[in-house]
Structure 1
């Protein structure tokens, strides 16, 4: 007969899971991911394939789907932001969607002069279905308020916010290059449809996706061009929470943004 597990042992097991990154239960019921169907049908076994006769046409293997090409096609077909959000929700090739609670599309005023592009949703964003609502997002709101801007203002003083990835990576890990490549056509279409005057690229991964290079501590504060419009690389608010001394750099960048908007 098995001995009952003590409360101390259960607590130790839970603490171990937290250390491994299992910090929340995603679904209401358990899900056996080994039982999920493959995205591509398995190859037919040799027993089920009949060898062609002399007069048979040659067998041609079906072409594999290119997730990036499909993303480009689906993004290009979206005529407005609502259609783009629907296309993202229907895009089946990014496995991040399987572990996320919500698709995090955008927040703020789409008619805003400034569009902020971040990295990916965190736990609070995944729960709320909105970008930048956790601790880093609250800091971002205070930063914007310091120069008279917010996501809730009228278009002249508003911001529009999105991320490179619309689904939360497990345990808030960094985006994989393949994930960024699949989502980049949607991000570019998002920018084209919103048509902001200025882009603010928050952090290394937004800069890597839209500028093709990283090194945010060197790039921050130096204006660049992305998607045919001025782009300002800035330190991500999550970085500022870890490195408070860098807030003075962020303040300098905010003043540069305000000056550009007044010009």
Structure 2
């Protein structure tokens, strides 16, 4: 049954995991655009036809309970339907327990369909150093912890070299580690922009809760996502950036260093810069 959408546009909504309910008959004025209700996991969104460029647009409506029948009046600005938010509401005000539960139950993108479990983060909740990677791999997906396997072993060695650990320790010695994405992309492919966008509120809330004195961003996608830039790591290394008022030092991902061991020297330089930043901060 069609309400004015092409097969391609309907397929796009289905690919997002959005269940589209089409009423038997919708009475609209001649100049109006088609209207359907999109109902997903406790979030309703009213899709209003197409914009001037022919793209499907939607108003995101966040609600606390599943929607049935009519949808409340939209409360946000028009956004592309491909980024309709399906995550829990109120992320910016969540404590650790609520945030962990929200991540665990999140179905905001198709990565939830294949995950074994979400990978929330690990370390001291008030750590002075916060390390941010890109996305879980196969072992992380199985164990529910970031940076395990050979890349994790290399990271642990790097941390020990500067007197830090992910194991139980005081806040000034133990780090907090999180990823940009909380679910593993299939075959460890690169994160897609809409996946990064859906996970970003979770990561920003983790940063706000930890309140670190320094963030070490590891890997191209972590760096570019945090700093909102397309510049390569090579141009961003060696200087201090900032996110939410927190100094950010850029370095290579441990998995990259395993494939390119000659760059381990550069990564050590980045760690030394991070230590200098911490020393200046007292």
**TM tier, shorter chain?**
0.7 to 0.9
Q: Distance in 2 between matches of 1:76 and 1:70?
A: 15
Write out per-residue CA displacement over residues 3-59 of structure 1, whole angstroms, 9 at most, x where no aligned residue.
xxxxxxxxxxxxxxxxxxxxxxxxxxxxxxxx9995222434xxx32768xxxxx99
Q: Secondary structure at the match of 2:20?
A: coil
Q: Distance in 2 between matches of 1:175 and 1:155?
A: 31
Instruction: Spell out the pairing of 1:223-242 with structure 2 (5 A cutoff).
Output: 223-242=240-259
Confirm whether residue 176 of structure 1 aligns to residue 192 of structure 2: yes
TM-score of the pair, normalised by structure 1: 0.77
Q: Distance in 2 between matches of 1:260 and 1:134?
A: 29
Structure having the higher helix fraction is 1
Q: Distance in 2 between matches of 1:121 and 1:205?
A: 12
The answer to whether the 8 Å contact 1:71/1:186 transfers is no
Q: Distance in 1 between matches of 2:148 and 2:238?
A: 24
Residue 20 of structure 2 corresponds to: 41
Confirm whether residue 244 of structure 1 aligns to residue 241 of structure 2: no
Residue 25 of structure 1 corresponds to: none
Confirm whether residue 129 of structure 1 aligns to residue 108 of structure 2: no
Instruction: Spell out the pairing of 1:101-250 with structure 2 (5 A cutoff).
Output: 101-152=116-167, 153-213=169-229, 214-250=231-267
Q: Distance in 2 between matches of 1:68 and 1:211?
A: 23
Q: Distance in 2 between matches of 1:139 and 1:260?
A: 23
CA shift, 1:258, in A, is 1.8
CA shift, 1:221, in A, is 2.7
The answer to whether the 8 Å contact 1:116/1:161 transfers is yes
Q: Secondary structure at the match of 1:142?
A: helix
The answer to whether the 8 Å contact 2:88/2:106 transfers is no
Write out per-residue CA displacement over residues 77-98 of structure 1, whole angstroms, 9 at most, x where no aligned residue.
41x1121111122322211011
Q: Secondary structure at the match of 1:73?
A: coil
TM-score of the pair, normalised by structure 2: 0.72
Residue 18 of structure 1 corresponds to: none
Q: Distance in 2 between matches of 1:207 and 1:71?
A: 23
The answer to whether the 8 Å contact 1:118/1:162 transfers is yes
The answer to whether the 8 Å contact 1:210/1:227 transfers is no
Query: For the pair shown, which has the larger CA radius of gyration, 1 or 2?
Result: 1
Q: Distance in 1 between matches of 2:26 and 2:241?
A: 59
Higher relative contact order structure (alpha carbons within 8 Å, sequence separation ≥ 6): 1
Q: Distance in 1 between matches of 2:148 and 2:26?
A: 58
Runs of 4+ in structure 1 deviating by more than 3 angstroms, as ranges, are: 35-38, 58-62, 64-74
The answer to whether the 8 Å contact 1:202/1:233 transfers is yes
- Residue 276 of structure 2, aligned match among 228, 253, 259: 259
